């Protein structure tokens, strides 16, 4: 069993936790405190992003979408996007098995 609801919000620090993986994908919990941001980046494979708690701004090019609890978006590979937490948020990120958590961590360092 995987519990997505466990969090430890630290002001302006985004945390990643790999909660599940199988032969096809990795499921990552992203803990985003209010006002934290993941600057524009791309994924080399298709991804899905779902807000499990909170509210985020999800930007693709000049289009800004506000995703609330249980809203989800899927992107094909190499689409530039960014995220900003409008409230303390827990986000589920689904990655292809061949994608790397290190790559996602590198986004946080930019």
Whether the pLDDT of residue 8 is over 90: the answer is no
pLDDT, one tens digit per residue, over 42-96 is 999 999 999 999 999 999 988 999 999 999 999 999 999 999 999 999 999 999 9
pLDDT, one tens digit per residue, over 26-55 is 999 999 999 999 999 999 999 999 999 999
Domain positions in the chain are: 15-109
Tell me the pTM: 0.91
Structure tokens at 37: 């941001």
As beta bridge partners, residue 85 has 56
Sheet with 89-96, strands from edge to edge, namely 15-21, 25-32, 89-96, 47-53, 72-75
DSSP one-letter code for 13: B
Look at the chain and count its residues.
Answer: 110
**Domain 15-109 grouped into CATH 2.60.120.10:** yes
């Amino acid at each position: 069993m995987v519990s997505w609801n466990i969090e430890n919000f630290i002001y302006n620090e985004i945390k990643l936790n790999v909660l599940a993986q199988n032969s096809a994908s990795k499921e990552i919990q992203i803990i985003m405190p209010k006002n934290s941001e993941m600057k524009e980046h791309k994924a080399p494979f298709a991804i899905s992003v779902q807000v499990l708690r909170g509210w985020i701004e999800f930007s693709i090019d000049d289009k800004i979408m506000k995703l609330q609890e249980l809203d989800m978006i899927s992107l094909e590979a190499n689409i530039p996007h960014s995220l900003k937490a409008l409230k303390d948020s827990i986000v589920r990120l689904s990655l292809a098995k061949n994608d790397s958590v290190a790559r996602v961590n590198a986004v946080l360092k930019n």
